[in-house]
Structure 1
Amino acid sequence: MREVTVFVGGSTGTDPYSPKTWSGTAPRFLKAMEAEGLLDKAIGIRVPKLPNSLLLAKNFARDRGVWRKHFYFDPAYRRALTRAAASVPVSSPVLMQIGHMFSLPEAFPGHPCVSYHDGNLPELLASGFGIDGVSRRRIDQALSYEKQAANRMNAIFTFSEYLRQSFIRNYGVPAEKVFHVGGAVNLDVIPDPVPEKSYRSAQILFIGTEFKRKGGPQLLEAFRTVRQSIPSAELHIVGPTQVTDLPPGAFLHGHLSKSDPEQSTKLDSLFRDASLFVLPSLYEPYGIAPLEAMLYQLPAVVTNAWALREFVTPGVTGALVEKGSVEDLATKLTQLLANPDLLATMGRQAREMVLTQYTWPAVVRRMAPILQALAGER
């Protein structure tokens, strides 16, 4: 029996399988749900054009980032999105929503409802990123709405244990209703292993469009120190289109899209040539890029915080560095690059860890008994 109808809403439009949906995660997640025999149907919802335009006008701000936040945080927008969901006929016993931009329990009273999250607003606020200029009133409205929606759910799925604890601590959701099921890599094809992969090139790979939030400036400073000990070291940066003051040995590749064959080939080559992956974020809701790097047998050096420390074990799959510490980052990068045999061992272990725990079929299998129990109650 196919137990679940999944709703995706907001700026993604009406196609839940669009590669733009949920940062490319939704299509792969939905296909894994189909393969496991759990998905009845997937629905993309959006506010009708005229009400949406009125809400945009109501929340206008000169700064587009502030405008976007005021619009999405507006309770009127979220109620309108909930009404759009309520207009969809459903027959499956369990309903799931991606994120908390709307409320299925309000739209379908009496139906078991589940939500699935890679991050939440309290953690974003604590990070200090992405909220400049947003009014406190609008933030408080969004927090109130999300807390109410979360507590009306029959179950909440999270990408990480740290996020599970946040829902319990910040929204007051009972612990027995929040389940850490994990997240997964956004690759359609798992790269083949390279048994004799060499780690002697001392090439470091960084991927992250939001260069400042991902710790890019600290990485550049640390890399200058690395080059003093390992003059042949290289740093390859993917994501940002402009980075100033690149040190010798650092190369900027800009944005590389997986959907563009030429760019995808270039990205694959960077993964295969690298010895080490680094992501010293100042805030990271989850961190799919390190997991994808691990599939290419790359140990990962990441910040000792959030979900990152849940899948990077020091000395086993990589190393953890203190947030914002240039000295700690430089020291650990230098130590690892100087030990290619250790990198090879950690790279093999990292790939095996991802293959067993961080694929979408593995995530859906962890969800299945909870969804089936809710369907039985229905």
Structure 2
Amino acid sequence: MREVTVFVGGSIGSDPYSPRTWSGSSVHLLKAMAKAELLHAAVGIHLPKLSHYATLAKNFNTNRSVWRKHFYFDPSYRRALTEAAARIPVESPVLMQIGHMFSLPKAFPTHKCISYHDGNLAEMISSGFGIDGVSNMRIEQALEYEHEAARSMTAVFTFSEYLRQSFIHAYGVPENRVFNVGGGINLDDPPAPDPAKTYTAPRILFIGTEFLRKGGQQLLEAFRIVREQIPAAELHIAGPTHVDNLPAGATLHGHLSKSDPTQKQKLEQLFRSASIFTLPSLYEPFGIAPLEAMLYQLPCVLTNDWALKEFVTPGVNGELVAKDSIEDLAEKITMLLSQPDRLATMGRNARETVLNRYTWPAVAGRMAEIISTL
């Protein structure tokens, strides 16, 4: 079969096999596609240095985050990436790009072209996160570009059903051309289950570098309420390097990289010793951390929105909470920590949820089925 060439470039990185590209998902997806005999080739695209620096200079801003957004949202940058893609010789009948930083249908109008997404700009805009300081003109230009690219695709693949609906309703892509193929966990080998795992320690785990966006402040307030009911409760935070006003019982572990053996071991220890995982995000395009936690038999308390609400069946493998509700979050955490026997059952269910639905081989299999019908 091996009939798909995958293109990466732009803000997610230009080396398809780098562990940093697309937050680590690229290399795992490609391995799964190769094993499923779906992948013909994987290529990265980038601008020539002179053109790259010229576009950077044109979009200069003293705020580095705004500068980066203006650069990536610049339609001239996206057109240049598309032109760079067109210069790459392709032999496969199907081409797939990650995201909408460029447009393969414009570069290869005679090929079947697919785009694959864990999020999109329309959802980011509606969330209010990630666009502070960016000019309305740049946002409108980028959104218009994404609309045009999405509608020109033979098919659009998404990580989740909520995102599938976004492409249908916010981008106007016909529903018979948008497919929820899912996303996977970025682990080469799933951790072995722990048949002796106990849930008697009232220990909560949170992992997220973007502490504010992922509901970190709301969690701190909720944890103070939890401690009033369960004085021995612990909150372990990994990801941010600094958090103000940590309450009693909370421990900050900082950033833990899987590429560092010592830090990776520490991260696994946190997963193994926790009783529940929580991510009360205010916006979350997908969310890999909860799925990894579920593999470690951790029931999850997640925001009832976006893809997060697709991970959890309340009462079966975790609980869902209203966005930005400290009271609901505290109530659900307290309830679960008070029922260790129930947590054991929910933890087993959580692991099965991931193994059945959220692995890259499963994603590649769904892709193969759809591509065979194009």
TM range, normalised to the smaller chain?
over 0.9
Question: 1-side partners of 2:372 and 2:30: how far apart?
Answer: 17
- State the Cα deviation string for residues 338-360 of structure 1 (Å, max 9, x = none): 00011100000010110011000
- Contact 2:203 2:234 (C-alpha < 8 Å) held by counterparts: yes
Name 1:342's counterpart in structure 2: 342
Secondary structure of the residue aligned to 2:320 is strand
Name 1:179's counterpart in structure 2: 179
Amino acid in structure 1 at the alignment position of 2:239: G
Name 2:42's counterpart in structure 1: 42
How high is the TM-score relative to the length of structure 1? 0.98
Secondary structure of the residue aligned to 2:373 is helix
- Contact 2:207 2:238 (C-alpha < 8 Å) held by counterparts: yes
The correspondence of residues 227-376 of structure 1 with structure 2, limited to 5 A, is 227-374=227-374
Name 1:128's counterpart in structure 2: 128
Amino acid in structure 1 at the alignment position of 2:360: W
Structure-2 change in CA distance of 1:131 and 1:11 (3 Å)? closer
| Fraction of identical pairs, as percent | 70
- Contact 2:13 2:22 (C-alpha < 8 Å) held by counterparts: no
- Contact 2:28 2:360 (C-alpha < 8 Å) held by counterparts: yes
Name 1:26's counterpart in structure 2: 26
- Contact 1:7 1:96 (C-alpha < 8 Å) held by counterparts: yes
- Contact 1:295 1:354 (C-alpha < 8 Å) held by counterparts: yes
Name 1:224's counterpart in structure 2: 224
1:372 positional shift: 2.1
Secondary structure of the residue aligned to 2:170 is helix
Unaligned stretches of 5+ residues in structure 2: none
Amino acid in structure 2 at the alignment position of 1:146: E
Amino acid in structure 1 at the alignment position of 2:184: A
1:14 positional shift: 4.1
- Contact 1:215 1:324 (C-alpha < 8 Å) held by counterparts: yes
Structure-2 change in CA distance of 1:184 and 1:214 (3 Å)? same
The correspondence of residues 204-215 of structure 1 with structure 2, limited to 5 A, is 204-215=204-215
Secondary structure of the residue aligned to 1:171 is coil
- State the Cα deviation string for residues 224-280 of structure 1 (Å, max 9, x = none): 111111111100000000001001110000000111110000000000000000000
Q: Does 1:93 align with 2:93?
A: yes
Question: 2-side partners of 1:67 and 1:13: how far apart?
Answer: 17
Secondary structure of the residue aligned to 2:364 is helix
- State the Cα deviation string for residues 155-202 of structure 1 (Å, max 9, x = none): 000000000000011110000000001011111121000112100011
1:370 positional shift: 1.4
Amino acid in structure 2 at the alignment position of 1:101: M
Question: 1-side partners of 2:293 and 2:5: how far apart?
Answer: 32
Aligned residue pairs total 374
Name 2:8's counterpart in structure 1: 8
Q: Does 1:117 align with 2:117?
A: yes
- State the Cα deviation string for residues 46-77 of structure 1 (Å, max 9, x = none): 11110010000000111111101110000000
Name 1:84's counterpart in structure 2: 84
The correspondence of residues 135-214 of structure 1 with structure 2, limited to 5 A, is 135-214=135-214
- Contact 1:313 1:319 (C-alpha < 8 Å) held by counterparts: yes
1:21 positional shift: 0.3
The correspondence of residues 34-73 of structure 1 with structure 2, limited to 5 A, is 34-73=34-73
Question: 1-side partners of 2:278 and 2:356: how far apart?
Answer: 22
1:11 positional shift: 4.3
Amino acid in structure 2 at the alignment position of 1:27: V
Secondary structure of the residue aligned to 1:157 is strand
Question: 2-side partners of 1:14 and 1:56: how far apart?
Answer: 17
- Contact 2:11 2:72 (C-alpha < 8 Å) held by counterparts: no
